[in-house]
Amino acid sequence: MNNQQTFHWTVDKNEENLKENQGIIEAAHLLQQGEVIAFPTETVYGLGANALDEAAIAKIFIAKGRPNDNPLIVHIARREQLNDLVQEPSEKARALIESFWPGPLTLIFKQTGSVAKNVTAGLDTVAVRMPDHPVAEALLLASDLPLAAPSANLSGKPSPTAAEHVWTDLQGRVVGIIDGGSTGVGLESTVLDVTGEIPILFRPGGITKEAIESVVGPIQVDPALKKDDQAPRSPGMKYTHYAPQGDLFLVSEKEEIQGYVDKWRLQGKMVGVLATEESKSNYEADVIISCGSRANLASVANQLYDALRAFDKKGVELIFAEIFSEEGIGLAIMNRLEKASAGRIL
């Protein structure tokens, strides 16, 4: 499965009438024939297939090497598409849709049974979102299908925020990749369960907890988000994720980073530091990469995965990273760093 021809289309997201774009039309046609296509969204690149076609969905799991018990998010472009997929949304769910769609908020609903079984890993719920990206929207409209799409990376690796990342991971394993430039938010969508009276946050992301609470009042946070000993209610959250090849360590006191670096370089290791614009000139290491500015955490979200992949390219064996405040988008940044470090916090 890793030697098929992979088509590559470059599509300018600012082009008018994208639905008529030749690349979009070809890609939409392949989706209708049950193939998988990688495409840009405002969060990360997605790997999409027809959510109603079990055989097409099976190809996603094979291409990514994704465990079968990790369910997929279904992407739609029109509100009406929701009617076929989910049972009557609650009032809070409707308020959230009104406020945040299209956008990086995935909602978990009771499902109707219309999506293929392997989309939901046998659960009686389904995750749905409406992406806020012109290329994703055009592809959804041109194919006229709900598309199940996880991130377009090999399972376990950092999610792709540029077409080049997708190409590195999936070239030869998928039929086509649409290059629509780099993504916006840079972290995956927020995942929120709205099946009960009080919504439950399963995965922090581009829409912050604070923003959600400003619309529907207090929400709960799945306890497993913080502790590894709890079985997560969202199956995908139990897997190591987003990890670079080198071992990543989070360092609570950034003043201690240089000491760790020096110690391991003396042992002959190639050592990197994940720093910020404010701190990068304070360190001496084999590779120092800034993932953005502390004064603007959105820039950190945007650059984090590219920074983690950059350590891989240089063959760094140990990476010491600064940590961030958990306010706003910081909660999602720290969640991804904790997963990428497999909980190694110094």
CA 47 to CA 51: how far, in whole Å? 12
Binding test (CB under 5 A) with Mg ion, winner from 151, 189, 299, 341: 151
* Three-class SS state of 323: coil
Within residues 178-207, the interface with ligand AMP by CB under 6 A covers 188, 191, 202-203
- Shortest approach of Mg ion to residue 21 CB, angstroms? 27
**Strands across the sheet with 247-251, in order?**
247-251, 318-322, 271-275, 287-290
Residues that bind Mg ion (rule: CB under 5 A) add up to a total of 2
Is the distance from CB of 203 to CB of 100 less than 8 angstroms?
Answer: no
- Shortest approach of ligand AMP to residue 31 CB, angstroms? 17
Is the distance from CB of 325 to CB of 333 less than 8 angstroms?
Answer: no
- Shortest approach of ligand AMP to residue 183 CB, angstroms? 13
Binding test (CB under 6 A) with ligand AMP, winner from 56, 127, 225, 251: 127
- Shortest approach of Mg ion to residue 63 CB, angstroms? 13
- Shortest approach of ligand AMP to residue 178 CB, angstroms? 18
Entry field: residues in the chain:
346
Beta bridge partners of 296: 293
- Shortest approach of ligand AMP to residue 288 CB, angstroms? 29
Is the distance from CB of 185 to CB of 206 less than 8 angstroms?
Answer: yes
Is the distance from CB of 96 to CB of 215 less than 8 angstroms?
Answer: yes
Binding test (CB under 6 A) with ligand AMP, winner from 25, 30, 58, 123: 123
CA 329 to CA 187: how far, in whole Å? 9
Q: Quick one: which of 189, 154, 192, 207 has its CA closest to 38?
A: 154
- Shortest approach of ligand AMP to residue 128 CB, angstroms? 9
Sign of CA dihedral 95, 71, 171, 310: positive
CA 84 to CA 87: how far, in whole Å? 8
Binding test (CB under 6 A) with ligand AMP, winner from 151, 190, 302, 341: 151
Q: Tell me the CA distances in angstroms from 254 to 92, 116, 133, 226, 330, one per residue in order.
A: 41, 47, 36, 22, 17
Is the distance from CB of 163 to CB of 180 less than 8 angstroms?
Answer: yes
- Shortest approach of Mg ion to residue 241 CB, angstroms? 7
Beta bridge partners of 95: none
Given ligand AMP, Mg ion, none, residue 323, with its beta carbon under 5 to 8 Å by kind, binds: none
Q: Which of 92, 339 has the CB closer to Mg ion?
A: 339
Given ligand AMP, Mg ion, none, residue 234, with its beta carbon under 5 to 8 Å by kind, binds: ligand AMP
Using the rule CB under 6 A, is 73 a contact of ligand AMP?
A: yes
| Beta-strand relationship, 7-10 and 247-251 | unpaired
Site string for ligand AMP, 42-71 (x = CB under 6 A): ----------------------------xx
Site string for ligand AMP, 217-256 (x = CB under 6 A): -----------------xxxx-------------------
Residues that bind ligand AMP (rule: CB under 6 A) add up to a total of 20
Closest residue to ligand AMP using C-beta atoms:
236
Q: Which of 23, 150 has the CB closer to Mg ion?
A: 150
Using the rule CB under 6 A, is 23 a contact of ligand AMP?
A: no
Q: Quick one: which of 209, 168, 189, 192 has its CA closest to 308?
A: 168
Which residues contact ligand AMP (rule: CB under 6 A)?
70-73, 108, 120, 123, 125-127, 150-151, 188, 191, 202-203, 234-237
Which residues contact Mg ion (rule: CB under 5 A)?
150-151
